[in-house]
Amino acid sequence: MECVIYREQTGEGEHIDCRQADGGCEVTLDRLGMLKPDEFAWIRLSEPAQEELQRLGEYLKLHPLAIEDAVHAHQRPKQERYGDVLAVAVKTLWFIEQSADVETGEVMIFLGPSFALTVRHGAMDPIAEAAQRLDRQPDMARLGPVSVLHAVTDVITDAYTQAAAQVRTDLTDLERCVFSPAREDRTEQIYSLKREVVEFRDAVQPLVPVLQPFTAARDDWPHQVVPYFRDVADHLTRTDTEVRALDDLLSSVLDAHLAKVGTWQNDDMRRISAWAAIFAIPTMIAGIYGMNFDHMPELDWRYGYPCALAAMALGAGLLYRAFRRNGWL
């Protein structure tokens, strides 16, 4: 657990020692009970145990459903109001370039009158970057706990933008491979990337309506924070549009690749059919003269055998030339 006490008058932050005492963070809880009217605390938890969060939630008067959501971390992006506490769930997302995988985590943000609580799940840590930004912008910290919500969502939205750019690069490379002359089956690779984009879309798309209410003036928030949330919402909307375009483009690339695979199969069938027709003529002639009849023309003719071979070669050659001119071979 980390805890920082911010003073709204100066925007400065004081880090509080979180020594464990009797299985809980007694020092932090005692300090939270002595906050001044112009101070608020930012408490940061990373994949906490249920007992730890339960104890802290009871002290901060968090709703049991909110605590359950923060512990299990399987929520769609959403916002909920529990009395005077606002709970916002946001998906974190990062792109693994080596495997072209999109990994997701989750951050739960609780805003109370004098505190902000963030609970992180997953390998990506937007909280550290958000804390650094807030330390560099004391004017934002003066706006109270809502500044934490802005800082965290701003970092996560920037990560969305970077991940979308990396997915776009992979998709461009995949398009070049699909439309290259090489005959390589890319169906599994395209489908795998499309599955990652769907996971990307599931993180970004539901967050757009969640942040939209924050772009309007609210009675319980300083009006100075509204332009900052509008900037975050604008970046998120652009990323959402980009992800939708990537999803549609991947569907088109998959359709084009499947059509190309079908063309390869048609070419193969034409070649097989052409060679079967070519070999049909020698087979037919050999079959006719291989029948066991006593009275057949040319059986006793001296030049019958070479003429039969010549007819086979001529018929096969004419068919081969015709198929070559028509592009079948």
Q: In what order do the strands lie in the sheet with 13-16?
A: 13-16, 2-7, 39-46, 115-121, 101-111, 85-96, 78-82
Per residue in 189-233, pLDDT (tens digit) is: 888 889 889 989 999 999 999 999 999 888 778 888 999 999 999
Instruction: Round to whole Å and give the CA distance between 89 and 210.
Output: 9
What's the pLDDT at 134? 87
pLDDT at 159 over 90: yes
Give Cβ neighbours of residue 253 (< 8 Å, ≥ 6 apart): 171, 174, 175, 178, 190
Checking if the pLDDT of 22 tops 70, the result is no
CATH top-level class for 2-260? alpha beta
How far apart are alpha carbons 28 and 303 in whole angstroms?
110
Most distant pair of Cα atoms in the chain: their distance: 122
SS3 191: helix
Fold annotation for 261-325: Methane Monooxygenase Hydroxylase; Chain G, domain 1 (1.20.58)
Q: Which residues of 127-144 are buried (b: 16+ CB within 10 A; e: fewer)?
A: bebbbebbbebeebbbbb
**Digit-coded pLDDT (tens) for 74-123:** 788 999 999 889 999 999 988 887 777 888 899 999 998 888 999 999 88
Q: Which pLDDT score is estimated for 36?
A: 74
Q: Where are the domains of the chain?
A: 2-260, 261-325
Looking at residue 21, its pLDDT comes to 43
Q: What are phi and psi of 317, to 5 degrees?
A: -65, -45
Supply the pTM of this predicted model. Answer: 0.77
Query: Measuring CA to CA, which residue among 199, 151, 201, 182 is closest to residue 6?
Result: 151
Distance CA 107, CA 119 (A): 6
Q: Whole-angstrom Cα distance, residue 297 to residue 307? A: 13
Question: pLDDT per residue over 36-49, tens digit each?
Answer: 777 888 888 888 88
216: three-class secondary structure by DSSP: coil
Q: Which range has the top average pLDDT, 169-173, 306-310, 324-328?
A: 169-173
Q: Distance between CA atoms of 256 and 134, rounded to whole angstroms?
A: 47
Amino acid 17: pLDDT: 54
Q: What is the pLDDT of residue 234?
A: 95
| pLDDT over threshold 60, residue 250 | yes
Q: Alpha helices of 179-303 — where are they, by DSSP H?
A: 187-204, 207-211, 226-289
Chain-wide mean pLDDT for the chain? 84
